[in-house]
Every structure is written in C-alpha cells, then in structure tokens.
Amino acid sequence: MLGVSPVHPLEQVKRPVTVLAGRYGHPVHPALVAVPIGAWVASFVFDVASHLVHDGGFLAQGSRWLIAVGVLGAVAAAMAGFLDLVAIPTGTRVFRIGLAHMSINLVVTAAYVVGYVIRGGAGTGPVRWGPLALSAAALAGLAVSGYLGGELAYRYGVRVADEATQARGYEDRTVREERG
C-alpha cells in the first residue's frame, strides 16, 4: 500500500462499506429499524388491549400480523446493521457493543418468531398470557438493544458524518457562497 495513508478507525466507521448500507452520513439501518420497533410495540398494545375489550380476538389476530411485519422488517434492518458492524475495527469496545446489539436483536427476533408460532392461526378471545409475557420480555430486550444502538451512533459516532460535514449545515448561506 505505497502512498496510501491508513484510515483512522473513527473515520472508518463513519463510511459505508457498500452502497447497500446507505450514503455517507445517512445510513439505512436506523431508518429500517422503525418497522420492527413500531410493529412490535403496536403488537404489544394490541395484546394488552385484547384483554380490555369484550371480544379481543380481532386484536389478537392483528397483533400476530404485526409480529410478522416486525420480523420481516427486522431481517431487512439486520442486513443493513451487519454492513455497519463490519466497518467497526474488531477488538474495540465499539465492536463489542455492536456484537451485543446484534446478538440481543437476534434473540428478540427469535422470541417474536416463537411468539408468532405459539399463537397459532385464527383464534378467538384475548391473547393468552404466555405469548403476552413473551412479547413483554422481547420488548424489554428490544429496549436494551435500542439503548446499545444509541450508544453506537450518538456516543461513538458509528455511521455519523464527521464534525466538519455537520458544521456545514449550520453555516449561514452567505458564508457558504463566499467560500465558493
């Protein structure tokens, strides 16, 4: 590698490893995680609500559909997240946090797949207490994983544009025009 300076690890984690991971400063993973998070939170609300109405079967069925949507969204988010993870230098604290984030998400997704299966087909009445408890536990795991994802982005700057790029967004338009 003559004439090529090595990239600093902090700069390395800010750049996408492939176009599939999103543009510089605009990663795909954070946008995709909205689908499983939203679907799984809504499914839990449906689970609880199924116990509060006279015939909660329609809510139980809706919850099952939301779990399926969340699992499909989680697969897409996981692929994009993995592309971000491989940009992080191994052996670092940030990489270990990334591995924990990924591992927890895999367990959470597996729990939702199990929950989907044990709920069965078109049932009547509210969601049984076992699947509801599993959803609550999976949602707690999702919260822990989300915290770790926030650490990666907001504390350690994984896939966040560098400060010079960020500063350009705060410049006055006339200052930018004077610079050319």
The pLDDT score that the predictor gives to residue 65 is 97
Strands, E assignment, the chain? 22-23, 26-27
Kindly report the pTM of this predicted structure: 0.83
- Percentage of residues in the chain having pLDDT higher than 90: 65
Structure tokens at 120: 């069965």
pLDDT in tens, 67-115: 999 999 999 999 999 999 998 999 999 999 999 999 999 999 999 999 9
For residue range 9-30, what is the model confidence (pLDDT) as tens digits?
Answer: 666 666 666 666 556 666 889 9
pLDDT at position 143: 98
The pLDDT of residue 36 is 99
Mean pLDDT in the chain? 87
Longest Cα separation, the chain: 74
**CB proximity list for 92: less than 8 A, separation 6 or greater:** 9
**For residue 164, what pLDDT is reported?**
74
Q: Which amino acid appears at position 78 of this protein?
A: A
C-alpha triplet 146, 40, 87: angle, nearest 5°: 35
Amino acid at 141: G
Number of H helices, E strands in the chain: 8, 2
Residue 88: partners with Cβ closer than 8 Å, 6 or more residues away = 9, 12, 13, 94, 95, 98, 158
Left (φ > 0), alpha (ψ -120 to 50) or beta: where does 123 sit?
Answer: beta
Q: Which residue has the higher pLDDT, 1 or 26?
A: 26
10-14, 37-41, 46-50, 151-155: lowest mean pLDDT where?
10-14
Q: Euclidean distance between the first and final Cα of the chain, in Å? A: 34
Q: What pLDDT does residue 93 have? A: 96
